[in-house]
Structure 1
Amino acid sequence: MSLDETCLSNGEVWTFLTNNDGHGGRGTLAAAIPGTKSDEITTILIGAMGKSVRRRVKEVTCDLSPSMMLIAAEVFYNAHVVNDRFHVQQVYNEAVDEIRIDIRRQLIAEDNSRDKSEPPITYSNGETMRQILARSKHTLMMSQNKWTDIQRHRANILFRHYPILKAAYHLAMELRQIFNAKISPTKAMGRMNKWYEKVMALGNNNFRSVIKTFKNHAPTILNYFRRRATNASAEAFNSKVKIFRSQMRGVRDRDFFIFRLVKLYA
């Protein structure tokens, strides 16, 4: 099973419980509940499903939301709660991007105080460092083997001038390799601990909260290595909901919209 939250319209957020075995078709949607308050949703789900049904659920995937994790643990007491690996990687990637943003912000401040008669330095790819930083966001989220020649040239210039970004990027790729490895939770824990040490060695404050988050969620993050389950099916279902909403030109009648979803996917 998977738990995720989706915005239907005008900031109205619903919690969807989906069955991964439904593969996005009929039998996928198990519950659609307005709001994200863990106590309310837990009460509704426990009331709707008998104890024997909930006991049969062996695995629930969700993001790092404390609310979703609490719901999963309390309702499906016999299941392993698994944090989606892509949300885990995203937490680290956002910290890397914060470094890029901080560097660019500093450059902008320096440019504003610089003599305007002096043109900014243009590098071998024809871009200024401000332009390189602005255009490197997605490059820093990608594997090197997927870079275009332009992206590779840009990254080489960036890494040459800012070693902290180079080191942080390579650690992002190392984290991806850990998740890609078919290893046991115990071996994964050993590799993650070594990775934590490398990240902390960077000495950047952006990563302290990342490591704290990872360590606080260590059991549920490591549960991924049991069966390599992700929240991909829930994300795919959310995409279908958005497409369906677009086809209906928005959610004018919420109850009817949910009724249609139930008929199609429950």
Structure 2
Amino acid sequence: MRKDEQKESGRKKELFLCRKLFMVPQGRMTDKQRTMVAELSKQYKKTGRAFRIVQSLDDFYASTSMVEAQERLDKLCSWIRRCRLKPMKDAALTLRNHSKEILNYFHTRLTNAICEGINAMIQAAKRKARGFHTFEGYAAMIYLVAGKLKLDTPVLF
């Protein structure tokens, strides 16, 4: 939303320079940052509305039970659908389509963060293995990077 509103407004640089301000969670903002966000939200209504929606998504993930999370997700999706912002409506549809998987987090408290971390290491190994012409070389690089192998050199004396 910020990019779209930035293109529409005459003062493009202001929103561009403040783009990271909208990524700071409300709980970690200083008073000065809160004031700036409030002023920018008044000037750029769509960006301010999208920022408040993202903040409420953080509140959703702070839920303590599955029932509370279900209620918050329903309220959040309802709000997003009524907000008249096309990208946010698409996000609400995605949340609605994947609500079972999202709510499963509140049951198990497990995420796929470990898998994503391992995938990042494998992708790094893929970049490192550019000189290898076979899959065996690529596989060996994956084992070296992600396998946590202990490759101590032997002490000769």
> 2:4 is matched with which residue: 102, 126, 130?
102
Aligned to 2:152: none
* Residues 1-266 of structure 1 aligned to structure 2 (within 5 Å): 99-107=1-9, 111=10, 129-147=11-29, 151-184=33-66, 186-244=67-125, 248=128, 250-253=129-132, 254-255=134-135, 256-262=137-143, 265=147
Tell me how far apart the structure 1 counterparts of residues 20 and 116 of structure 2 sit (CA, whole Å).
Answer: 20
The alignment yields a C-alpha RMSD, in angstroms, of: 2.6
Inter-CA distance 244–260: structure 2 relative to 1 (3 Å threshold): closer
Tell me how far apart the structure 1 counterparts of residues 33 and 131 of structure 2 sit (CA, whole Å).
Answer: 44
Alignment gaps of 5+ in structure 1: 1-98, 112-128
Scaled by the length of structure 2, the TM-score of the pair is 0.75
Tell me how far apart the structure 1 counterparts of residues 125 and 35 of structure 2 sit (CA, whole Å).
Answer: 41
Scaled by the length of structure 1, the TM-score of the pair is 0.47
Tell me how far apart the structure 2 counterparts of residues 176 and 145 of structure 1 sit (CA, whole Å).
Answer: 10
Alignment gaps of 5+ in structure 2: 149-157
Inter-CA distance 135–147: structure 2 relative to 1 (3 Å threshold): farther
Q: In the TM superposition, what is the alpha-carbon distance from 1:216 to its structure 2 partner?
A: 1.5
Q: Say how many residue pairs are matched.
A: 145
Tell me how far apart the structure 2 counterparts of residues 240 and 149 of structure 1 sit (CA, whole Å).
Answer: 39
Higher relative contact order (CA 8 A, sep 6+): 1
Secondary structure class of the residue paired with 1:182: coil
Percent pairwise identity:
21
Inter-CA distance 155–221: structure 2 relative to 1 (3 Å threshold): same
**Which residue identity is paired with 2:50?**
A
Inter-CA distance 136–234: structure 2 relative to 1 (3 Å threshold): farther
Tell me how far apart the structure 1 counterparts of residues 15 and 65 of structure 2 sit (CA, whole Å).
Answer: 36
Inter-CA distance 237–134: structure 2 relative to 1 (3 Å threshold): same
Q: In the TM superposition, what is the alpha-carbon distance from 1:201 to its structure 2 partner?
A: 2.5
Secondary structure class of the residue paired with 2:18: coil
Q: In the TM superposition, what is the alpha-carbon distance from 1:165 to its structure 2 partner?
A: 2.4
Tell me how far apart the structure 1 counterparts of residues 46 and 36 of structure 2 sit (CA, whole Å).
Answer: 16
Tell me how far apart the structure 2 counterparts of residues 221 and 203 of structure 1 sit (CA, whole Å).
Answer: 24
Secondary structure class of the residue paired with 1:203: coil
Q: In the TM superposition, what is the alpha-carbon distance from 1:152 to its structure 2 partner?
A: 4.2
1:14-56 deviation digits (Å, cap 9, x = unpaired): xxxxxxxxxxxxxxxxxxxxxxxxxxxxxxxxxxxxxxxxxxx
Q: Is the 8 A contact 1:132 1:158 kept in 2?
A: no
